[in-house]
Structure 1
Amino acid sequence: MKGWVFLLVIGVFISCAQNKNDENIRELLLSQLKNTHNTQEWFAPTETALKGLTYEQAIWQDSTANHSIAELATHIVFWNEMNLKSFNDLEISDKAVKNDETFQVPKKDEWSITVKRLDSIQTEWKTAVKHADLVKIQDRAEEIANMSAHTGYHTGQIVYIRKQNGWWK
């Protein structure tokens, strides 16, 4: 009987340690989501990168056909939203998405809506990760980390365009 109790105690200890590791993963993912959204640590988050841009600045493109800030923002919105729907087990369109088609230029009256939509989706991501069960966090950790890196990458492009044009303080 003593051996069984010992194994039970070890099992509980291992389970608690695993839960602690899962909570650490949750906290790491939340930190990444905050850093790409509105908490400036090592790089500018999207909130800072897009703040104060005019529509004309957002749609500006150089002569090499690189993406505009507006196109980068709509691309980030699209993929963060698609990943959020998947994370929340919501239906996603069957239509095959061509990545190039996710870079859209919103109309002038849609630009501020695009910025607000990105803010809203990033806020929803933090809430979803904060409240998700640990199994889901464990299963989706790599996807969330990659999405955060993708957001950070494109936010860096936005900052570069702003610096290149003197629109960054």
Structure 2
Amino acid sequence: MRLKSACVTLLALLLLAPLAPAQSSQPKPTLKSILLEQLRSTHNHAEWFVPINTAIAGLTPEQASWIPPSSPGITHNPAPEDHSVGMLAYHLLFWNTDALAKFKGEKAPPDPSDNTETFNNFDAANWPETVRKLDAVLTAWEQAVEASDDAKIAANAKTIARIGAHNAYHTGQIIIIRKLQGSWDPSKGVK
């Protein structure tokens, strides 16, 4: 009888165990931790999507300069709204640098008279430097958020979230361009 009672008790514990609240060793998410996770996942930590560092890795300056044709079969110059990977990376570098300077209370670069400047000032000769600077400013963003207190994070949360979303949006464009170009390795995360 004791064995039967012990088996029933053990079975009940096993069945009810999933219903008990889990004791997590993970700290509760905070606004800062969520924003940092978003910045990291759009920079260099692959999670649900490909981060920018992976999206631009291994491109030559020539590949970074390639602009897909406006429409299939058209071989003349692309429409002005079409961009190369390099142009998109330069655009991200510009706006991340601008927003980070403002976040840190530093003097930001002068605002362009037209947003097209933030794409069109890309120079293929400086592609390796653009890649390095983009990685550096994204790292600096993470460090600045990590070092900030909760009040500063709360006051700037919308901007930080928009930076992450903006980076993810243009990273998606970069991958599409690389797929059109034939320079994307699907093992990197997007088939």
TM-score of Structure 1 vs Structure 2, range by shorter chain = 0.7 to 0.9
Q: 1:95 to 1:147 in 2, by over 3 A?
A: closer
| Pair 1:60 & 2:76 matched | no
Letter in 2 for 1:143: T
Q: Which amino acid aligns with 1:24?
A: T
Matching of residue 84 in structure 1 with residue 100 in structure 2: yes
1:39-58 alignment to 2 at 5 Å?
Answer: 39-58=45-64
1:157 equivalent among 153, 169, 173:
173
Q: Is the 8 A contact 1:77 1:117 kept in 2?
A: yes
The residue identity in structure 2 corresponding to 1:162 is R
Q: 1:110 to 1:156 in 2, by over 3 A?
A: same
What residue in structure 2 maps to residue 128 of structure 1?
A: 144
Alignment correspondent of 1:25: 31
Report the Cα distance in structure 1 between the residues aligned to 2:152 and 2:84, rounded to whole angstroms.
35
Identity of aligned residues (%): 42
Pick the structure with more helix per residue: 1
* One-letter code aligned to 1:99: N
Return the offset for 1:96.
5.0
Runs of 4+ in structure 1 deviating by more than 4 angstroms, as ranges, are 93-96
AA aligned opposite 2:152: K
TM-score scaled by length of structure 2 = 0.73
Would the aligned equivalents of 2:86 and 2:124 in 1 still touch at CA under 8 Å?
Answer: no
Structure 1, unmatched stretches of 5+, are 1-19
The amino acid of 1:53's aligned partner reads: L
2:66/2:84 contact within 8 Å kept = yes
Identify the residue that residue 71 of structure 1 maps to in structure 2: 87
Q: Distance between the aligned counterparts of 1:147 and 1:125, measured in 2?
A: 10
Question: How does the TM-score come out when normalised to structure 1?
Answer: 0.83
**Secondary structure of the corresponding residue to residue 39 of structure 1:** coil
